[in-house]
Amino acid sequence: MSTSASPLEAARAWLAQDPDEDTRAELAPLIDAAESGDAAASAELEDRFGVRLEFGTAGLRGRLGAGSNRMNRVLVSQAAAGFAAYLREKAAEGSRPTVVIGYDGRRNSDVFAADSAAIFAGAGLRAVILPRLLPTPVLAFAVRHLDAAAGVMVTASHNPPDDNGYKVYLGGDDHGSQIVAPADAEIAAHIERVAETTTVADIPRGEYEVADESVVRAYVAATATVAPAPAGAAGMNWVYTAMHGVGYETLSAILQLAGYPLPVVVEEQIEPDGRFPTVAFPNPEEPGAMDLSFATARAAGAEFVLANDPDADRLAVAIPDDSADGGWRRLTGNETGLLLGWRAAERAAAAGAAASDPADGSARASLACSLVSSPGLEAVAAHYGLDFHATLTGFKWISRAPGIVFGFEEALGYLVNPETVRDKDGISAAVAILGMIAEAREEGRTLADVLDGFAATFGFFQSGQVSLRVADTAIIGRIMSALRDSPPAEIGGVVVDRIEDLLTGVDGYPPGDVLRLWLADGSRVIVRPSGTEPKLKAYLDVRGTSAEDAAARLATLDSGARALIAAAQA
């Protein structure tokens, strides 16, 4: 399909090769209407075919539907063939690299996975598909467990119901992490060549393997060792929701092996359902997404709530709070990340990992988080004599931090078991937080008490976020340009000391569309486009002399950041 073709020509070529009856039925009437001069149909074809869904370090993610700017069997087949060509190019002569493929419960995830596996096999690779729909962390684990050259997970994680995606991992020296540059551009170039020169029907297909249950059992066994249940777990009363996703079957097996009592589940959300009927967005961070969890917890008299997102690579934690609406409060990703980082640092220090630089020249044990996550983790690392790394956003970067023993990002992502999974893992994080809660219970303390203990030990850190969701992503670009062209002298009445623009280069970071503003009182504001959603995000961090002081500083900074974004948008 020529890249110079008009949207109408591209649509005709697409229809001729599309193997999916549903998307063919969706596209054919649009083509007929556009050929008859219907302006709305022509505009729709322009949206679907005017650009191509970009393959980058997050792989592919977008709305389901016909067109090069949608997720569908044509696009996925081209992606699989291009990725296969990349893997063959990188493989040793005469070798047969393994690719493992996983999929979640979203619409067409199983179809996209089967198409990919057949195309990998047709390219001469050993293709192994996981035995059923499973969490993303199981796929990330399987890449290393099977010594695979690569892995593909078909998921759109916590995106809206009409989305799907294609997440790519590399084995070998990449240790099962997601792809980064230059691999993303090299894979994208292969995909473009396939799209321009080959129809879907002409892409070779072959026989693929279906993994047996031993892969899942191995993940369950490894994850159960993260925090075997201490005596304090006895009688634990808690609530869990899978958010209509695939997490509970795997989590429940781990709980039983590790010795934890099973939770009271949110029945309406416990089974996989790609329609996500009870939530507007299947993301525990979104307002209202955990309302059913809180109602279940109130009815059960629960001590706490845990929630996975639909592919179970993220974890939300909530605790009773009389001051919160409905009596429950979800911890921020920073709060949970700092607690888990504290746990990891204690264990690393106890094991002697921080004593000195290793004699074999390997990296010292370290904690890592994305640069938009709480600076409190650096205070934890310093307290225990560990190294610390602040990376670009995304676990493709966090997982590559030298010597990492724990990593997190504020968007509810935690890497607690890097020897097993080099990606965020909401299931192993759930086991780790259960261990913390159980240990506190032995001492008659709650998770709220543990949070207070963190502040008493490391300081009063508070974080917030201002998020602007847009229908037109061009608005985000205009706001970022306005902030660069007219940088603020103050935010919320506090002078801006300095501004770092990662787009033009900052030591230690590859270029990125990120602005980092440091204020005279030590506060920090970071502005960037979301990598997975049509949002502009401003991340706010303060450190106060008390909880009340930190809260007041954060409120002032929040008001200032909102005014800053509104002015840039005007």
Q: How far apart, in whole angstroms, are the C-alpha atoms of residue 402 and residue 175?
A: 12
What is the tens place of the pLDDT at every residue in 256-310? 999 999 999 999 999 999 999 999 899 999 989 999 999 999 999 999 999 999 9
Q: How far apart, in whole angstroms, are the C-alpha atoms of residue 476 and residue 168?
A: 26
Q: How far apart, in whole angstroms, are the C-alpha atoms of residue 71 and residue 166?
A: 9
Between residues 181 and 147, the one the model is more confident about: 147
Query: Running DSSP on this structure, what letter comes out for residue 71?
Result: B
What is the tens place of the pLDDT at every residue in 469-498? 888 889 999 999 999 999 999 999 999 999
CA 316 centroid distance within chain: 13
Q: How far apart, in whole angstroms, are the C-alpha atoms of residue 160 and residue 535?
A: 13
Give the model's pLDDT for residue 556: 95
Average pLDDT (119-146) is 98
Kindly state the percentage of the chain with pLDDT values over 90.
89
Structure tokens at 210: 């279906």
CATH of the domain at 236: 3.40.120.10
Catalytic positions, written as ranges: 157
Q: How many residues are present in the chain?
A: 570
What is the tens place of the pLDDT at every residue in 229-239? 999 999 999 99
228 belongs to a structural domain:
yes
Give the start-end residues of each E strand in 298-403: 304-308, 315-320, 328-330, 366-370, 387-391
Do residues 20 and 103 share a domain?
Answer: yes
1 belongs to a structural domain:
no
- By C-alpha distance, which of 125, 122, 143 is closest to 89? 125
- By C-alpha distance, which of 18, 136, 69 is closest to 415? 136
Q: How far apart, in whole angstroms, are the C-alpha atoms of residue 101 and residue 57?
A: 18
2 belongs to a structural domain:
no
| Distance separating the N- and C-terminal Cα atoms of the chain | 40
CA 66 centroid distance within chain: 25
Structure tokens at 189: 């170039």
Do residues 51 and 151 share a domain?
Answer: yes
Do residues 42 and 96 share a domain?
Answer: yes
Cα–Cα separations (whole angstroms), residue 204 to 119, 122, 182, 194: 6, 5, 27, 12
What is the tens place of the pLDDT at every residue in 33-50? 999 999 999 999 999 999
SS3 171: coil
Give the model's pLDDT for residue 1: 53
For the chain, give the mean pLDDT. 94
Name the pLDDT band for 5 (thresholds 50, 70, 90): confident
pTM exceeding 0.85 = yes
The number of domains in the chain is 4
- By C-alpha distance, which of 283, 313, 306, 310 is closest to 139? 313
Q: How far apart, in whole angstroms, are the C-alpha atoms of residue 420 and residue 427?
A: 12
Do residues 154 and 196 share a domain?
Answer: yes
Do residues 270 and 202 share a domain?
Answer: no
442 belongs to a structural domain:
yes
Alpha helices in 198-229 (DSSP H): 214-224
Beta bridge pairs of residue 151: 100, 169
Beta bridge pairs of residue 365: none
Do residues 182 and 79 share a domain?
Answer: yes
Give the model's pLDDT for residue 120: 98
Cβ pair 398, 411 in contact under 8 A: no
Do residues 346 and 473 share a domain?
Answer: no
Q: Is the pLDDT of residue 517 over 90?
A: yes
Do residues 97 and 140 share a domain?
Answer: yes
Q: Is the pLDDT of residue 402 over 70?
A: yes
What is the tens place of the pLDDT at every residue in 174-225? 999 999 989 999 999 999 999 999 999 999 999 999 999 999 999 999 999 9
Between residues 355 and 221, the one the model is more confident about: 221
Give the model's pLDDT for residue 354: 60
Task: Spell out the residues 6+ positions from residue 344 whose beta carbon is closer than 8 angstroms to its own.
Answer: 367, 405, 406, 416
Give the model's pLDDT for residue 380: 98
CATH of the domain at 469: 3.30.310.50
Give the model's pLDDT for residue 359: 45
Provide the residue range defining the domain that includes 451.
334-456
Do residues 362 and 430 share a domain?
Answer: yes
Domain-terminating residue out of 212, 236, 264: 212
Do residues 241 and 288 share a domain?
Answer: yes
237 belongs to a structural domain:
yes
Domain-terminating residue out of 436, 456, 476: 456
Give the model's pLDDT for residue 35: 95
Do residues 226 and 259 share a domain?
Answer: yes
